[in-house]
Amino acid sequence: MQPKLNPPPHNAVLTVDTVLLTLSEDELKLALFRRETPPFEGQWALPGGFIHDDDDSTKAAAARVLLQKAAVQSPYLEEYGTFSGPARDPRGWSLSVVYYALIAAERLSSHIALFALDALPSLPFDHSAIVSGVVSRVRSKASYSSLPVHLCGESFTIAELHHVYEKVLGTPLNMANFRRKLEDLSILEPIAGAQRAAGRSRPSQLYTLSKRFKNTLSIRERGL
Amino acid sequence: MQPKLNPPPHNAVLTVDTVLLTLSEDELKLALFRRETPPFEGQWALPGGFIHDDDDSTKAAAARVLLQKAAVQSPYLEEYGTFSGPARDPRGWSLSVVYYALIAAERLSSHIALFALDALPSLPFDHSAIVSGVVSRVRSKASYSSLPVHLCGESFTIAELHHVYEKVLGTPLNMANFRRKLEDLSILEPIAGAQRAAGRSRPSQLYTLSKRFKNTLSIRERGL
DNA sequence: TCAATAGTGTCTATAAGACACTATGCC
DNA sequence: GGCATAGTGTCTTATAGACACTATTGA
């Protein structure tokens, strides 16, 4: 047993906040929850909570918060950064570690409140700054990685994934080139024999995300 | 005045650790300090310290630590991420926010202990993991941004900067192409009339880092 | 004037973008 | 068969890489 060592006490408020993004009604949307406790009780805010002594890490705390508040288990959960200081929380000096997750709308329980990014309510703490920081990080990563694939469900067609990329990036992408670059990300596995028929046209092959990239990203040197 | 609100007490050890890198003896090196207090008293470790109530943010805490321990004021100081959990520090559940800085050797006081990255002593806590994480982040950012310029002093030639990039990336870079890409990063300002003569050859123009990029990076879409 | 490095011009190879084409299933 | 979308082939354009060239100074 180690001798008891005493760091100077720091009464920081220690929290995690999570930015949960999904694609709904053909738009990138943010999940918000009404705060159940002061401060800012009753206001819309990012799902967050205190870090507990029995959390294995801040990431584990974020996963727990998402499970408890949103009832989702997001395979992709990544740290964005920390927000800290004496003034951001009325309870005193605070530090929040921010995580973000992208998830298919079909995996979210339908009673979760979703807001379009250009129609967010006013948010407490520095949550507005957090959201805009995360959104620009996500847009940036989307432009050279497999990140947006997490907005698709278990199986999807290339056309669907193409559409998701266009929505996240906000710019049209040539389909032929998109296919070539997807190829070289090598994140997709065709589901043998599974196709999706739409109307009277040729059905398209269904794919699933390769296991290897469920929790991590595939990166391309030169943009998507 | 807000009513006093009580978050559940969390006795986390709250620290910042900094990874201070420089180029010395033609190699990328890490600054380490001997710990002056338990735990691991006397061992080489990253410069770090507790977050104080009067720090304005974790970044301010990191800047303070660098100033107090290494007597350097680094213009470029960026958050890498957090390391946390119940087991990484014998004092109990801990959270460390890690920052990294790159600085010219000439701005470091000469008594600071520098270690080549492939000859580090064994480090306490999870400092080894922190260092390797930061180093790969730095190598990656160096490949498409102005990051390595912070390893140069106040004024420098293009040949010198070219050499710094090669050392950080560990790979030779064609000089003509390097110049073109530097041009388009547009981070340099020629110092009018200032040249550096070396031996009996043509002297080279001296440049300085544009003010705009002292604290931030210039990014290129497609690699350096 | 020549040694030595600074700095530029230009050809070649590779990758991105545009776009037309073929393929396939349903009505 | 032909409509509609899936998926491919290929031409054009931009950028990266290689390399040879000119420029400028000190000895």
Put simply, the chain B residues between 33 and 62 with a CB less than 8 A from any chain A CB are 38-39, 50-54, 56-58
CA of B220 to C1' of D13 (A): 20
- Confidence class for position B10, pLDDT limits 50, 70, 90: confident
With a cut of 50, list the residues of chain A below it in pLDDT: 1-4
* A7 part of contact set with chain B, CB < 8 Å: yes
User: DSSP for A38-104?
Assistant: SSSTTSEE--EEEPPTT-SSHHHHHHHHIIIII----S-EEEEEEEEESSSSTTSSEEEEEEEEE--
Q: Is the pLDDT of residue B199 over 90?
A: no
d(CA B89, CA B96) in angstroms, rounded, equals 10
The mean pLDDT of B18-33, rounded to a whole number, is 97
B102-120: burial string, b at 16+ Cβ within 10 Å, e else: bbbeeebeeebebbeeeeb
CA of A184 to C1' of C15 (A): 13
Q: Residue B193's pLDDT is what?
A: 85
Spell out which residues of chain B touch residue A56, defining contact as CB-CB under 8 Å.
Answer: 85-86
Residues facing residue B207 across a β-bridge: B156, B190
Q: Residue A144's pLDDT is what?
A: 95
**Nearest nucleotide to A221, CA against C1' atoms:** C15
Q: What percent of chain B has pLDDT over 90?
A: 88
pLDDT tens for residues B96-150?
999 999 999 999 999 999 999 999 999 999 999 999 999 999 999 999 999 999 9
Q: Residue A196's pLDDT is what?
A: 86
* A14 part of contact set with chain B, CB < 8 Å: yes
Q: Residue A200's pLDDT is what?
A: 87
d(CA A31, CA A52) in angstroms, rounded, equals 23
CA of A222 to C1' of C15 (A): 9
Nearest CA in chain A to B57: A85
**Nearest nucleotide to A205, CA against C1' atoms:** D6
Q: Is the CB of A203 under 7 A from strand D?
A: yes
pLDDT tens for residues B164-189?
999 999 999 999 999 999 999 999 99
B50 and A14 within 8 Å at the Cβ level: the answer is no
List phi, psi (to 5°) of A44: -70, 135
Q: Give the CA diameter of chain B.
A: 74
Beta strand A94-102 pairing with A77-85: antiparallel
pLDDT tens for residues B59-78?
999 999 999 999 999 999 99
Residues facing residue A22 across a β-bridge: A29
B13 and A7 within 8 Å at the Cβ level: the answer is yes
Q: Residue B1's pLDDT is what?
A: 41
Q: Residue B2's pLDDT is what?
A: 43
Question: Which residue among B7, B12, B81 sits closest to A91, beta carbon to beta carbon?
Answer: B7
Put simply, the chain A residues between 58 and 77 with a CB less than 8 A from any chain B CB are 58
Spell out which residues of chain A touch residue B57, defining contact as CB-CB under 8 Å.
Answer: 84-85
Q: Residue A8's pLDDT is what?
A: 67
Q: How many CB pairs under 8 A join A and B?
A: 93
Q: Is the pLDDT of residue B82 over 70?
A: yes
How much is the pTM? 0.94
CA of A121 to C1' of D10 (A): 50
DSSP code for B70: I
Q: What DSSP element (H or E) covers B48?
A: strand B48-50
Q: Is the pLDDT higher at B8 or at A141? A: A141
pLDDT tens for residues B151-160?
999 999 999 9
